Amino acid sequence: MNAERLESLRVELEGVNHELLALFNRRAELVTEAQDYKSGLGADSFDPMRQQEMLAGLIRSNQGPFSDETIKRLFSEVFRASLGVMDEHRESALRVSRSRREEDLIIQTPKAVIGKENVLIAGPCSVESEEQMDQVGRMLSSWGVTLLRGGAFKPRSSPYSFQGLGERGLKILRETADRYGLSVVSEVMDTRRVELVARYVDVLQIGARNMQNFDLLKAVGKIGKPVLLKRGLCATLDELLHSAEYIIDSGNEEIILCERGIRTYERQTRNTLDISAVPLLRQMSYLPVVVDVTHAAGRKDILAPLGRAALAAGANGLMVEMHPCPSLARSDCQQQFDFDEFLQFVREIGLPTPLRAVASGKESR
């Protein structure tokens, strides 16, 4: 009889274990459901006071044989595990995730579409003068390039380097774009200047140094214009997507992810282009991906093969710097193409038909 009773107890214990397992999993389901509901209401998903109230209620109901302290420890561990489930659920539920949307996002600017055929974003590192930008705009237009980049506010490593022309530079960019039928991409560095920059540009760029400037990300998310978000110098892809989540969470889905090289031990290039980031980002998110080959390499002689590699890996476009006279440029003169070098680059990377046709026609003339 004793052996039979022991076996009966063991079977009952095993049954209780499975009941507890089912209840723990059911609790996890309820937690994630409540989290989704709170998110829809804009409420915080975690309320520590609620946890304390539940613990106090459990201790009041405890009739033993577990002590109150043991009950507190057991359920504190259950609550902690539930927080882990909430974190995992939150990660899998990122709004920029491919799991939330299967089809690729197409972004329409006044003069260009990003996310369909591969695009080229080109222009000087810094806006320096009306004459400089007029030459750039005229040449880009004649080659079929419709996205003009240029820095009006420049983040420089040295405080004594050229910092850009500010609002005057933005005005020059806008006037050039309007004259030649281009869309404007330019960087915003400060929350106080978001509205100012947005008045002049079609795509707001967040530079690598500001990828985790969360107040700035929230601010551009409220503006309602496309945002080109550059990967930080040492940022992981998860961190890049979380930065994009700040923008979309503030109301703006029109985000372009930009791989621009990461900092490694290598000194032959300015940064190291992470080609693997392109197909991985395309798998992880539905947002378009462009590659800034200029800042990745910091040298002109290898930009064409890097561009071809980026496009072969699935990039939706490239960003490159060019200048009428790079040797006289006020910033990054060593990495900017002159016009002839830029045309050769366009021929070598094999971008969409309009660009190739214009380049071929110009070459034949």
Q: Residue 365 — pLDDT band, cuts 50, 70, 90?
A: very low
Pick from 189, 172, 159: which is nearest to 123 by CA? 172
Distances (CA, A) of 220 to 20, 81, 228: 47, 35, 10
Indicate whether 159 pLDDT > 80. Answer: no
Per-residue pLDDT tens digits for 188-247: 999 999 999 999 999 999 999 999 999 999 999 999 999 999 999 999 999 999 999 999
| Domain around 7 | 2-93
Structure tokens that stand for 359 in this block: 């380049």
In a 13 Å sphere around the CA of 12, the CA atoms on its Cβ side amount to 6
pLDDT at residue 35, as a whole number: 72
Same domain, yes or no: 89 and 111: no
Average pLDDT estimate for 57-84: 87
Output the pTM of the full model: 0.77
Average pLDDT estimate for 92-104: 86
Same domain, yes or no: 82 and 148: no
Per-residue pLDDT tens digits for 30-67: 887 777 776 665 556 667 788 888 888 888 999 889 89
Q: Residue 117 — pLDDT band, cuts 50, 70, 90?
A: confident
pLDDT at residue 83, as a whole number: 81
Same domain, yes or no: 335 and 215: yes
Domains: count for the chain: 2
Same domain, yes or no: 83 and 117: no
Same domain, yes or no: 268 and 345: yes
- Point out the domain boundary residue: 93, 127, 161: 93
- First-residue to last-residue Cα distance in the chain: 104
- Point out the domain boundary residue: 46, 73, 93: 93
Give me the CATH number covering residue 60: 1.20.59.10
User: Exposed, middle or buried by CB within 10 Å (0-12, 13-18, 19+), for 266?
Assistant: exposed
| Least-confidence region, from 27-36, 156-165, 174-183, 321-330 | 156-165
How far is residue 110's CA from residue 143's CA, in Å, rounded to a whole number? 18
Q: Residue 266 — pLDDT band, cuts 50, 70, 90?
A: very high
Structure tokens that stand for 325 in this block: 């006279």
Which range, 18-22, 43-47, 80-84, 220-224, has the best average confidence (pLDDT)? 220-224
pLDDT at residue 153, as a whole number: 86
Same domain, yes or no: 275 and 346: yes
Percent of the chain scoring above 70 in pLDDT? 88
Indicate whether 364 pLDDT > 70. Answer: no
Average pLDDT estimate for 116-130: 93
The mean pLDDT of the chain is: 88
Average pLDDT estimate for 266-293: 96
Average pLDDT estimate for 5-14: 86
Give me the CATH number covering residue 355: 3.20.20.70
Same domain, yes or no: 123 and 38: no
Using left for φ > 0, alpha for ψ between -120 and 50, and beta otherwise, residue 135 falls in alpha
Same domain, yes or no: 129 and 84: no
Same domain, yes or no: 79 and 121: no
CB 101 within 8 A of CB 303: no
Indicate whether 129 pLDDT > 70. Answer: yes
pLDDT at residue 207, as a whole number: 96
- Point out the domain boundary residue: 30, 63, 93: 93
Same domain, yes or no: 67 and 106: no
Same domain, yes or no: 75 and 123: no
Maximum CA extent, the chain: 104
Same domain, yes or no: 308 and 160: yes
HEC-encoded secondary structure of the chain? CHHHHHHHHHHHHHHHHHHHHHHHHHHHHHHHHHHHHHHHHCCCCCCHHHHHHHHHHHHHHCCCCCCHHHHHHHHHHHHHHHHHHHHHHHHHCCCCEHHHCCCCCCEECCCCEECCCCEEEEECCECCCHHHHHHHHHHHHHHCCCEEECECCCCCCCCCCCCCCCHHHHHHHHHHHHHHCCEEEEECCCHHHHHHHHHHCCEEEECHHHCCCHHHHHHHHCCCCCEEEECCCCCCHHHHHHHHHHHHHCCCCCEEEEECCECCCCCCCCCECCCCHHHHHHHHECCCEEEEHHHHHCCCCCHHHHHHHHHHCCCCEEEEEECCCHHHCCCCHHHCECHHHHHHHHHHHCCCHHHHHHHHHHHHC
Per-residue pLDDT tens digits for 283-300: 999 999 999 999 999 999
| Least-confidence region, from 49-53, 267-271, 328-332 | 328-332
pLDDT at residue 75, as a whole number: 87
